[in-house]
């Protein structure tokens, strides 16, 4: 049975990915950030042998270490890591003339850019023993410098651009060691990034997950070229 860990799995896309992977026979470690949000418990009762819920705060090295130890108690390997957790901020729309919120930008950078790096570092020994060595990153079109037209959203856009650079450096290091990479823009998802579910977005989380999972799991013709790809299969400029 192939084994995967998904961060930010409580709700939104991460929950959709977790449900889809379980339905497709994967053994899933689901990162729980929101102790009060219980949707994952319903999945655990449907898939008691295949789902383990693990507390993960991507902003905390201690939390990730404890999560790795929890996974190790149940498995000697991970085949795939999906770095899905991400945050935005209500103060993102402030332009440079509107008192940008630098504290929030630090928070977004810590979770969106540094969080996936922390997770890769912590879980790498387990991934080294896996059969796929697949590192997946939910980034965003918002991190594309080449396609940028926004006039604000500094914290979110800059944190995703920094994530993309971090992934590139990981790719340079780990691709020669047999790792394969997926960098993904999931589309506009009806998720909870704004605090409440965004019903005006394009895709339900389970629809977004149905696009993402084949991209994450299938082999690519050219694993030596790092690409940022959206849910329609279109490549985005870095
Ligand atoms: N929604 C979109 O249209 C869209 C577009 C492009 C890219 N994305 C990316 O897709 C990914 C999934 O987002 P989503 O849209 O599904 O949003 P979501 O519904 O907010 O899901 C993200 C999950 O991650 C959790 N989380 C927050 N901080 C965390 C931390 N420090 N450690 C671990 N988990 C944490 C969130 O908890 P809280 O709810 O408490 O914050 C939430 O449960 C993100 O990386 C996002 O940037 C989304």
* Domain interval for residue 154: 3-236
C-alpha 111 chain-centroid distance:
11
| Spatial separation of the C-alpha atoms in residues 174 and 24, rounded to whole Å | 27
CA of 192, closest atom in ligand 1: 19
- The encoded tokens of residue 169 equal 């450096």
Pocket flag, ligand 1, residue 116 (CB < 6 Å): no
Q: Give CA angle at 89 (63, 204), nearest 5°.
A: 85
pLDDT mean across residues, the chain: 97
Task: Match 């190790």 to its residue by tokens.
Answer: 72
Each residue's pLDDT tens digit, 1-18: 999 999 999 999 999 999
Mutate to test the pocket of ligand 1, among 12, 18, 116, 141 (most ligand atoms within 8 A of CB): 12
pLDDT in tens, 65-111: 999 999 999 999 999 999 999 999 999 999 999 999 999 999 999 99
Alpha-carbon distances of 73 from 46, 67, 70, 126, rounded to whole Å: 22, 10, 5, 12
Q: Which atom of ligand 1 is nearest to the CA of 13?
A: 16
> How many whole angstroms separate alpha carbon 23 and alpha carbon 238?
33
By most ligand atoms within 8 Å of CB, the mutation choice from 9, 87, 162, 188 for ligand 1 is 87
Query: Using one digit for the tens of pLDDT, what is the confidence trace for 142-170?
Result: 999 999 999 999 999 999 999 999 999 99
Q: From the CB of 191, is ligand 1 less than 6 Å away?
A: yes
In this predicted structure, what is the pLDDT of residue 4?
98
Confidence of residue 194 (pLDDT cuts 50, 70, 90): confident
Number of domains in the chain: 1
Q: What is the pTM of this model?
A: 0.98
Report the candidate in 79, 35, 65, 78 with the shortest Cα–Cα distance to residue 53. Answer: 35
- Domain CATH number, residue 143: 3.40.50.720
10 lines ligand 1 (CB under 6 A): yes
Task: Check residue 206 and give its pLDDT.
Answer: 98
């Amino acid at each position: 049975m192939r084994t995967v860990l998904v961060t930010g799995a409580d709700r939104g896309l991460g929950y959709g990915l977790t449900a889809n992977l379980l339905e497709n026979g994967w053994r899933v470690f689901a990162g729980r950030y929101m102790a009060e949000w219980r949707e994952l418990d319903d999945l655990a009762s449907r898939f008691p042998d295949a789902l383990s819920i693990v507390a993960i705060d991507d902003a905390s090295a201690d939390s990730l270490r404890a999560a790795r130890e929890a996974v190790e108690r149940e498995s000697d390997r991970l085949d795939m890591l999906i770095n899905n957790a991400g945050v935005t901020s209500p103060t993102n729309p402030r332009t440079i003339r509107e008192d940008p919120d630098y504290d929030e930008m630090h928070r977004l950078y810590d979770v969106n850019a540094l969080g996936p790096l922390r997770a890769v570092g912590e879980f790498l020994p387990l991934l080294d023993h896996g059969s796929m060595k697949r590192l997946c990153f939910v980034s965003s079109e918002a991190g594309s410098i080449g396609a940028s037209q926004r006039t604000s959203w500094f914290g979110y856009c800059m944190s995703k651009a920094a994530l993309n650079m971090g992934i590139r450096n990981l790719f340079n290091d780990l691709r020669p060691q047999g790792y394969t990479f997926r960098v993904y823009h999931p589309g506009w998802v009806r998720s909870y990034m704004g605090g409440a579910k965004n019903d005006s977005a394009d895709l339900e989380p389970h629809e977004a997950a149905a696009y993402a999972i084949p991209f994450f799991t299938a082999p690519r013709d050219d694993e030596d070229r790092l690409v940022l790809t959206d849910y329609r299969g279109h490549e985005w400029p870095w």
